[in-house]
Each structure stands twice: as C-alpha cells, then as structure tokens.
Structure 1
C-alpha cells in the first residue's frame, strides 16, 4: 500500500520529468509557434513606431505633442482590443481569434504605408492597435490552456520572448532599409510598415496546423443541459483572483513604463551621459530581456511563481537604485542590462499567472484581457507622474524613485497571492 509520502514523492518526480524540453508535445510547440510569433510581429509593429517618430515628425511636420498622440492612440487601441478579443476568443476559439488579431494588425500596418497625412496615419494606427492588443490576450490564454500544468510557466515565458525579439527585428530591418535607401526619409519609412503586413501570410499556415485549446473545446462541446448546468455551477467569478491579477499588472505596467519612458532622459539630463541614444544601450536592454525570459522559463515551474516574481522585483529595484545613486558609465550599463532582465523578464510569468489566479471560467479570455489591459492604466499614469515631478534634477530623482514604490507594491501583491504552480485548469 502506498503512503501519502510515497505518492507525493512520485508526483514530484513525474512533475520534474514532465518539465523537460524533450517532453513538450507537438501540440504545445504549435500553440507556442502561433502565440509566440504573433506576439513577436506585434512587438515589431509597436517598436517600429518608436523608431520612426523623428522621421514622422519631419514627414508630416508634427510637434512632439502631436507625435505623442500616435503613441496614445496606439495604447488606447491596444487596451480596447485586448479586452474585446479576449471576449471574442471565449466564443470563437483561441486559434481563430489569434489569427483574426494578426490579420487586423497586418492589414492596417500595410495600409499605413499609403497614409497620405497624419490623420489617416492615426486612424489606421488605432484600428491596427485593436488587433495588436488582442494578440497577447488570446495567445496567453491559448498557452495557458494547451501546455501541461507542470510546464505552463515555461510556455508563457517562451511566448513572452517575442517582445525583445520583435524589437530587435524592428531595429535590424530599419537599419537595412535605412542603409539601402540612405535614410528613412521620403517614402523609405513606408516600406517598413508594408513589411508589417506580412505576418498574416506567415501565420495563416501556422494557425492551420495549430489545434484549438482542448479546454475551450471541452466547454464548447458540453451539449446536454445537465452538462451545461454543472459547468455553470462551477463557473463563478473569482473576484479576489481578478483583483489580484489587476493589481499585479497595474504595478508592473507602472514600473515598466515609468522606467523605460524616462530612464534615457534621466541619464542624459541628470547623469549627463551620452551613450543612451546608442545602439549598445538598446541592445543591452533587449538582450537583458532575452536573458530574463530564458532564466524565468528555466526555473518558474521548478521554484514556483512567487519566488521568481519576488527575485525579479528585487533585481529590478536594485537596478533602478543604481540609476539614481551612481554616475559610473560601466555600472549604469550593467544596470541597463539588469533592467531589461528584470522589468521585461518578469512579464514572462504574467500569462500563466493570470490564467491560474483567475481560475476556471468560461470567460477566461475576457477576464485575462480585462486584468492585463485594465492594468495598463498603471502604464498610463507613470509617465505623467514622473514627468510632472521632473522639472528639476531633484524632482526627477523623486519621480523615478516612485517606481521603487511600484516594485514594493507588486512584491506585496505577490507575497499575499497564492502559489499557483502546477494548478490544473479546466
């Protein structure tokens, strides 16, 4: 007769074996291909705007305030799209909705290449951003429902690697186009958006071979009234889980946008450093992010969600502290790498954690979208607060230090949240 200790030991052993890369199933790889590539191309599209703002200012004769409208419109579209397509995916399915989202941002990215003025550009950008926002929500739900519970964290982290890869892709392609055309002026910048229309044609074939979420199919196929009543009785809104997810993402978005919006300006105006506009600055940030995602994927299913989140928050707070307290260029470059590692890398666990903390519900996609995109309010507030305080050097230090408060607040949320590693979803 097996004792409880023997059973527990066997389960731990089976879980450890299941976490290995060689045990990842074909279905899991295919869902990762669709969600990860969709997120990569979305990141390309998002980062492209940041790279092209100076060019667009010259092409359309825009002020900095008018340029900021492009960013605000993109953010608004992403928030609406993330919630809207989370809802759609609960009804249409994860795979079809993922392809729909990719199709939307591909279509409107391609149309932007023909925008005659800033008004058309802004309108097309908004509609494209709807699909961009839905891509993360739907992809994260697909990974959470497709990957085995013992390696779900790894799947979410690998999907999130699309963020820095897409940014590097945007930098590389922009560099090539700029080199061939002697800059991005004239109509050269339009070619970059035209290239942004290609993801749909690539992912159409990937989606055709990607099986639908078995959990979504199970719910869809519950045909009898008895089954539907039984399912409904277990489908209660987890208010605490939803609030925990919202607060966690709110503070992550606050520190992410607070740090990445203002750190370059802070290092130039307060620390008087000139390397922040160089390629090595950007690459240190992006390769730090890739390292953060890889390390997160390697240990999150072994150590659990809470230890990994807390460790990354501690590293991030230390990196921001280095910005504030030191002017040494080498130390600051290391801090840039660690910022990418931690502040980007911690998002590797966002998808699985949101799915697990929200729990079992037929509205999982909608609620994940609501928590993640509602939490983007933190990203909207952070640049405003820090910008308002940044009129003097001392105020700028105080403003950037508010991100330390966000690190602490996020850590408090994580500390009181339940550990969800290995939680089964249905």
Structure 2
C-alpha cells in the first residue's frame, strides 16, 4: 500500500541552508545591538546633557541625537558604496566595531562637545548595519522566504531596544555613564560574523562582471550606465525614478521614527512627574514605556514580510502608515496618564516601526546587486539628513510653539510621516520579484518577464 507523504508541511525547512540561517542570525543580532546602542542613548540623552552642561536642556539633548543621525547618514553612504565594491561582510564588521567602541568611549566625556563628537563617530559605524544587513539578507535568502527573513532581521532593532529598556531599568539609577558603557557589547558580534558568514554569490558575480567590463572598456567598448560609479547610477536615469520615491518614503518614516523614539522617554518622565514621580523613581516607568513601544515595534517589524507576501508590498506599507498616523495622533496630544501610554505605545511602535521594515523588504527588490547596498544606504541616509534635525526641531518648537509641550511637538514632527504616501504612489508593486537586473540600462518594471534577473523569485 502506497503511503502519501505531505512534503509541503516540511519543505520550507529544507529550502533554507545553514549559511542562510547564519546570515539571518548575524544581521538580526547586528541590528538588535544597533538598536540596543541607540535606545540606551535616547534614554540617557537627557541626564547626560544635564550632567555635562550643568543644567537641563531639551535643545542640547536634541543636538546630541542630531549629530548621531548625521554620522549615521555619512557612514551609511560611504560604507554602503564601499560594500558594493569590496563586499558586505568585512564592511559590516568594521561598522559594528565602530559604533560599539565609540559608544563606550562617550562615557569618558568631560564636556558636551566631546560627547557630541564621539556620538557622531558612533553614528558613522551605526549607519552600516541597515543597508548592508538588508542587502545581505536579500541576496542570501534568494527564495520565497526572503520577505519574511528581511522582516525578522528588522525586528532585531526592536529586540535590541527592548533589551536596552531592561538594562536601563536595572542600571539607570547608577547614572548615564554606567548605562552607556553597556554599548561595548556589540563588539562581540564580530567574532560570530567572522566565523560563520561569508560573502553571498552575488558579490563574486558582480566583481566578475566589473572585471569583464574593465577589459571591454580597455578594448574600446563604449561606456554604459553600469560603468558609472554606483552613487552616480542612483542619481541618473533609469535608477533615479526608483531612488527618489524610495527616499521620500524614508523621509516621512524617519521623521516619525526619530520623533517617537527620541522623545517618548522624556515625555513619559513629564507625564509621571505631574503625578509626583520624579528622579530615579521615574526610571522604571520610562523603561516600561520604551519596552511597550518596542514590543509593538517588534510585532510590526516581524509581521511585515508575512503580511506583504499575502496582500502585497504597497498595501502593507499603507497599512503601517495609517496605523502609525492614527496611534501618534491619539496618544501624544491626549495621553495624560502612564496607563494610557502603556496601552497605546504598542500601536505606535507597530505602525511607525513597521514602515522601516517595509523598506528592508521592498527596496532591495527595486535595485540590482551591483548597487543594492548603496541604494539602501542612500535612500535611508538622505532620509536621515532631512530628519536629523527632527529631534532638535521638536525641542525648539516645544518651547516656542507649544508652551514647552514635547508631546505636542512630537506629534507635529511625527505627523510628517504622511510624506511617505507621496513616494509610495510612485513605486511599482514588486510581488516578491527583483525588478532590476544588474544592467541599469534595463528596467523591466514587471512588464518583460524574460528580462527579470535570475535572483528574482515568484510569490
């Protein structure tokens, strides 16, 4: 008697190699520890500024965050372009070491300007993780599970921020220097990356193609778009019509992300302070609020790829944007109790953080492997350059427009997330396929199936 075996229930495990798991673990851990570093910083930015200046200042707290974001943008573009030429893995390790070491060194600052400079350098290293990690996952997970893997990788940011909230809960009372010293932990990740992660096959293919083009050019071949420097390619046709909308999506998303992640700790301090909870007594309240924000973010990140595989990339983007806009608009202007924040912060995190997961899933499908890390870096970095002043702006307008209300200022700045709808309107639905091959003179836009590069997948 023949026995019928249902292979469908177990095939997905056999479709995923040990190398793919290693890449996912390394990039998720890297992004988690990046989030751990950043979240620790936002929770101590106020106390650190107060200690170094001798008085509290929302303006200088915003400055500290802003210089970090500028460093992030600079590092992402520089190292992203480098990764498209020399490979992903080595550049990823350099970035992890940079942001962990310089985060720890910031604890030795005696003046505010020293603190700001060290945070800028830490930002340069931090900028490496998202574009290179997302590109590495997209290239290693070259199967029907790619979107899910990318979403899981992005959930690392919320996991790290959640862990930072736990650390802050236990050590925050010892001061900002002790707390920020835990930022050295990510350096240990380099040992795992070096042992278990190698370059994806696409890196070797791109290098081989460039070598062939170099020989052809030496023999007198005409220059084509693919011969240009990767950053030049992104800002000239045909890639410009992908770069620009993706950048606009990032600008809107990052205004909201940095608005809520930077100022939620301070807003919660104000809320509980109005009920008589101040100083070290407020530490646990802040840590729990940050944990709830990142719990929602974790769900938003991790579920994004699963939802996108069901309903499409663009509808999932729209879903995240709407949830983020509504949650921010309800909580920050009208939330007056800690309990309200605990209930609604997960919804804020789910929507606002989920949009960023979308960029890690969606954007790699719009750019070829020869420019992918640069594309992810540029679109996110321009977004960060536009939004780097967001935390600073919130501190300024809280004082000048909203009578010192950081909650209303954060609502105004985060409301700029609506800009993302403009970029979304000008991007094509990918349905899980790579729409560009590595010859940027060829744009398939899903219309010429024969030209879809082999790294693409079917949903």
State the TM-score bracket (shorter-chain normalisation): 0.7 to 0.9
Question: Does the 8 A contact of 2:36 with 2:160 survive in 1?
Answer: yes
What SS does the aligned partner of 1:198 have? helix
**C-alpha distance after superposition, 1:300-336 (max 9, x if no partner):** 2232211111111121222123236755856654322
- Please show how residues 49-198 of structure 1 align to structure 2 within 5 Å: 49-57=41-49, 59-63=51-55, 64=57, 65-178=59-172, 183-185=173-175, 189-198=176-185
Supply the distance in 1 between the matched residues of 2:222 and 2:358 (Cα, whole angstroms): 28
Correspondence for 1:337: 346
Correspondence for 1:319: 327
Correspondence for 1:4: none
Correspondence for 2:457: none
What SS does the aligned partner of 1:246 have? helix
Question: Does the 8 A contact of 1:102 with 1:199 survive in 2?
Answer: yes
Correspondence for 1:213: 200
Aligned length, in residue pairs: 404
Correspondence for 2:358: 349
TM, length-normalised to structure 1: 0.81
> Relative to 1, partners in 2 of residues 1:417 and 1:197: Cα closer, same or farther, differing over 3 Å?
same
Moved more, 192-201 or 73-82: 192-201
> Relative to 1, partners in 2 of residues 1:35 and 1:173: Cα closer, same or farther, differing over 3 Å?
same
* Partner residue of 1:41 out of 25, 30, 33: 33
Where in structure 2 are there 5+ consecutive unaligned residues?
1-6, 227-232, 439-459
- Shift of residue 85, structure 1, vs aligned partner: 0.7
Moved more, 193-202 or 130-139: 193-202
Q: What is the CA RMSD across the aligned residues, in angstroms?
A: 3.6
> Relative to 1, partners in 2 of residues 1:249 and 1:25: Cα closer, same or farther, differing over 3 Å?
same
> Relative to 1, partners in 2 of residues 1:284 and 1:195: Cα closer, same or farther, differing over 3 Å?
closer
Supply the distance in 2 between the matched residues of 1:315 and 1:398 (Cα, whole angstroms): 18
Supply the distance in 2 between the matched residues of 1:17 and 1:303 (Cα, whole angstroms): 22
What SS does the aligned partner of 1:44 have? helix
Correspondence for 1:409: 419
Question: Does the 8 A contact of 1:271 with 1:327 survive in 2?
Answer: no
Where in structure 1 are there 5+ consecutive unaligned residues?
1-13
Question: Does the 8 A contact of 2:141 with 2:149 survive in 1?
Answer: yes
Question: Does the 8 A contact of 2:36 with 2:163 survive in 1?
Answer: yes
Moved more, 83-92 or 191-200: 191-200
Supply the distance in 2 between the matched residues of 1:87 and 1:36 (Cα, whole angstroms): 21
- Shift of residue 128, structure 1, vs aligned partner: 2.0
Correspondence for 2:257: 256
Moved more, 368-377 or 114-123: 114-123
Question: Does the 8 A contact of 1:158 with 1:294 survive in 2?
Answer: yes
* Partner residue of 1:290 out of 289, 298, 313: 298
Moved more, 392-401 or 40-49: 392-401
- Shift of residue 36, structure 1, vs aligned partner: 1.4
TM, length-normalised to structure 2: 0.76
- Shift of residue 402, structure 1, vs aligned partner: 4.5
What SS does the aligned partner of 1:219 have? helix
* Partner residue of 2:186 out of 199, 202, 207: 199
**C-alpha distance after superposition, 1:7-59 (max 9, x if no partner):** xxxxxxx9x98995663322221111221111111112112222223442454
Question: Does the 8 A contact of 2:135 with 2:373 survive in 1?
Answer: yes
Supply the distance in 2 between the matched residues of 1:401 and 1:44 (Cα, whole angstroms): 24
Question: Does the 8 A contact of 2:73 with 2:382 survive in 1?
Answer: yes
- Shift of residue 369, structure 1, vs aligned partner: 0.8
> Relative to 1, partners in 2 of residues 1:281 and 1:107: Cα closer, same or farther, differing over 3 Å?
closer
Moved more, 74-83 or 406-415: 406-415
